[in-house]
Amino acid sequence: MAEGWLQIGLFVVVLVALTKPVGVYMARVFTGQRVLLSRLLWPIERFTYRVLRVRPGEGQDWKEYARSLIVFSLVFWIALYLILRTQGVQPFNPQGFNSAPWDVNFNTTSSFVTNTNWQYYGGETTMSYFSQMAGLAVQNFVSAAVGIAVVVALIRGIVARSGRAIGNFWQDLVRTLLYILLPVSIVGALFLVSQGVIQSLGHYQAIHTLTGGQQVLAQGPVASQEAIKELGTNGGGFFNVNSAFPFENPSGLTNFVELLLILVIPAGLPYTYGRMVGSQRQGWAIFSAMFALFVVGVVVVYLAEQHGSPAQHAAGLHTAAFDGSTGGNMVGKDQRFGIADSALWTAVTTVTSCGAVNAAFESLTGIGGAVPFTNLGFSEVVFGGVGAGLYSMLLYVLLAVFIGGLMVGRTPEYLGKKIQAREIKLVSLGVLFTPLTVLLSAGVASAAPLAKQSIYAGTNPTGFSETLYAYLSQANNNGSAFAGYTGFVQPHAPGNAGAYGLSFTDLLGGAVMLGARFAPILFVLAVAGALAGKKVSPPGLGTMRTDNPTFVFLLVGIVILVGALTFFPAILLGPVANGLSGRLF
């Protein structure tokens, strides 16, 4: 296991080292300062504003900001749905795929517009290259930029001492795309191609194998999509088996780089935050809370997977590692990643709301599988999705300030601003909306006869895990899956012969994703509006500090408390039951 720990340690070190430079760069972008790429991109930026008829620098209050965001997302939702529905008549479709059914398209559209990338379809058997490039990958960029815009607006609200403006949505959107997401994606995509990720527009190729058999190799513009899929914490695979497929992720090195792409923005944002509020310690405090929860998850899932599963042991298989063999639970894992990189990926993709996978989650051991559940149960505040993670965490910070204030008997203040009834009401709604959506939808789906067909594993803890995880993942805009659960029956036949959608599951999931994405965004923007323009009072002796270990401890405690109280009973019935009982079903 030493080599495994070494790789995990190396990843953590590189990630932490990148935090500051990335954080500084993003802070400069969001505050309109010059950066390395300004000379090249400023003319393009100015031109874009002219084309889009945007007046840069024109401040919006929270309602105007929210309206722009909602209208923009709605128009893009319609555009994407139309693209997917009319796939059959579009170019770049060498395999001649027709559109998936309407209900599956509803789910997929909602999924990509909300940065979830939950997938009921298999990419290589359903989507044309046009749909992948011009439909889905565009949303990988845009939905990520929307998430980042919201956190930037919230930060401005926290900082602003006068006026009601929290920035300009269009400007935040364009700058995020132009200065952050697009340049990194270009470099990332070219690097991935240089390592073997494919990038072509040709036909799938039929090949005579070495022993005279037939194998068809899927093709596609994969690298360009892979880069933004990870960077924007989207996670929607070009292929059905996502980043486990060698054409998406061919080696230990690509795996490492893809993991970095997933975490680099979410981990850099707390630093950006510290810089924008004028106190780097505030940023590090939030980073520390996230980091602590992340590391615990990695350790647990690695140890659990290395131990092996009850089914393996019952079959008489020895799961200890020895010279030349990784040992452990290799069911649903590829050799080049082994146990350590699969475990690391599992933790990274579920703390962020990425949801790309390089191993099969449903085959994780009970306790190993409980880690993704727990990470999602924390409402994606442990680094979280790009933007979404930090804005959700800031709600928890305000909650912690409030509870801490009650404990010491002081009026709660955050960065000099009083936290009052209105803010706390909005924060509570923002914090509780997603968990409530999860429990309600998972409850309905568990009870409804219509949803029965979606479950693969049957009536046992694994089957329950599938359902619970499906709604946990969709509500948290993650997109990873206990992939037996389905809303689109594709009988693994070429050309998708005999495929049909399961309307109940598709529609419920789509509605859950939309609600749990945009309702919290509105609450967050409302909080930003409520904080903007509040007077700042200088810190006194009795002010509760929010940049020291005590506060980090309090914050971690509250995240765990809310997550545990909400989800502990449900998680017990699924993965934990599997992990503790060792019974086979």
Partner 1 sequence: MRRDLLTSLLAVVVMTLVLGLAYPLAITGIAQVVFPGKANGSKVSLDGKIVGSKLIGQEFKGRAYFHSRPSATEYSGDVTFFGNAGPNSAELRDAIRENLAAYVKREKPYDRSLTREQVPVDAVTESASGVDPQISEANARIQARRVAAVRGLSLDEVEGLISDHTDGRSLGALGEPGVNVLQLNIALEEAAPLR
Considering the complex, state which of residue 135 and residue 389 has its C-beta at the smaller distance from partner 1. 135
In angstroms, the CA 280 to CA 19 distance is: 12
Among 366, 404, 479, 515, binds partner 1 (CB under 8 A): 366
Q: How far is the CB of 224 from partner 1 (least distance, A)?
A: 4
The one among 498, 539, 549, 582 contacting partner 1 by CB under 8 A:
582
Site for partner 1 in 437-476 (CB under 8 A): 456-457, 460-462, 465
Q: Least distance to partner 1 from the beta carbon of 44, Å?
A: 10
Comparing CB distances to partner 1, the nearer of 437 and 467 is 467
Dist CA 181 CA 353 (whole Å) = 17
Q: Which uninterrupted H or E stretch holds 488? A: strand 488-489
Least separation in angstroms between residue 118's CB and partner 1 is 15
Q: Smallest gap, in angstroms, from Cβ of residue 552 to partner 1?
A: 31
Site for partner 1 in 35-74 (CB under 8 A): 48, 51-54, 67-68, 71-72, 74
**CA–CA dist 156, 162 (Å, integer):** 11
**Subset of 289-348 contacting partner 1 (CB under 8 A):** 308-312, 314-319, 322-338, 340-342
Q: How far is the CB of 500 from partner 1 (least distance, A)?
A: 17
Q: Which stretch binds partner 1 (CB under 8 A): 34-42, 110-118, 193-201, 419-427?
A: 193-201
Residue 56 contacts residue 137 (beta carbons within 8 Å): no
Helix (H, G, I), strand (E, B) or coil at 316: coil
| Residues whose CB is less than 8 angstroms from the CB of residue 460 and which lie 6 or more positions away in sequence, other chains included | 585
What is the identity of the amino acid at 435? P
CA distances from 441 to 309, 380, 432 (A): 30, 18, 14
Q: Which residue has the tokens 């039929």?
A: 206
Distance of closest approach, residue 11 Cβ to partner 1, in angstroms? 9
Residues 6+ apart with CB under 8 A from 522: 66
**Helical spans, DSSP H, in 195-251:** 222-231
**How many angstroms separate the CA atoms of 144 and 148, rounded?**
6
Indicate the residue among 68 and 282 with the shorter CB distance to partner 1. 68
Contact residue for partner 1 among 197, 347, 400, 525 (CB under 8 A):
197
Residues β-bridged to residue 315: none
Question: Residue 121 carries which DSSP code?
Answer: S
Q: How far apart are CA 360 and CA 369, in angstroms?
A: 10
* Least Å from the CB of residue 383 to partner 1: 21
Which of positions 226-245 make contact with partner 1 (CB under 8 A)? 239-241, 244-245
Among the listed ranges 179-187, 295-303, 433-441, 442-450, the one in contact with partner 1 (CB under 8 A) is 179-187
Contacts of 32 (CB under 8 A, 6+ apart): 175
Smaller CB distance to partner 1: residue 207 or 536? 207
| For partner 1, the closer CB: 135 or 283 | 135
Identify the three-state secondary structure at position 68.
helix
Complex with partner 1: residue 42 or 456, whichever CB lies closer: 456
With CB under 8 A as the contact rule, the residue among 111, 349, 363, 476 that binds partner 1 is 363
Nearer to partner 1, 115 or 392 (CB): 115
Closer of 230 and 380 to partner 1 (Cβ): 230
Region at 413 (left for phi over 0; alpha for psi -120 to 50; beta for the rest): beta
Kindly tell me the sign of the dihedral angle through the C-alpha atoms of 138, 141, 147, 148: negative
CB of 281 to partner 1, least distance (A): 33
> Which of positions 494-553 make contact with partner 1 (CB under 8 A)?
494
Q: Name the strand (E) or helix (H) holding 131.
A: none
Q: Which is nearer to partner 1, 16 or 217 (CB)?
A: 217
Which CB atom, from 75 or from 565, has the smaller least distance to partner 1? 75
The pair phi, psi for residue 50, each rounded to 5°, is -65, -45
Least distance from C-beta 45 to partner 1, angstroms?
Answer: 13
Q: Give the shortest CB-173-to-partner 1 separation in angstroms.
A: 8
* Nearest-10 crossing angle of helices 388-408, 421-447: 120
Judge contact between 342 and 550, C-beta under 8 A: no
For residue 418, with 0-12 CB atoms within 10 Å meaning exposed, 13-18 middle and 19 or more buried, which class applies?
middle
Q: Among residue numbers 373 through 432, which ones bind partner 1 (CB under 8 A)?
A: none
DSSP lists the bridge partners of residue 205 as: 217
- The length of the chain in residues reads 585
250 binding partner 1? (CB under 8 A): yes
Q: How many residues bind partner 1 (CB under 8 A)?
A: 136
147 versus 412: smaller Cβ distance to partner 1: 147
Sole binder of partner 1 in the list 13, 57, 63, 200 (CB under 8 A): 200
> What is the x/- site pattern for partner 1, positions 101-140, by CB under 8 A?
---------------------x-xx-------xxx-xx--
Q: Which of 107, 176, 219, 282 binds partner 1 (CB under 8 A)?
A: 219
- Tell me how far CA of residue 293 lies from CA of 162, 288, 347, 378, 458, in angstroms: 36, 9, 10, 10, 32
Stretch that binds partner 1, among 153-161, 274-282, 480-488, 540-548 (CB under 8 A): 480-488
- Residue 366 vs 405, nearer CB to partner 1: 366
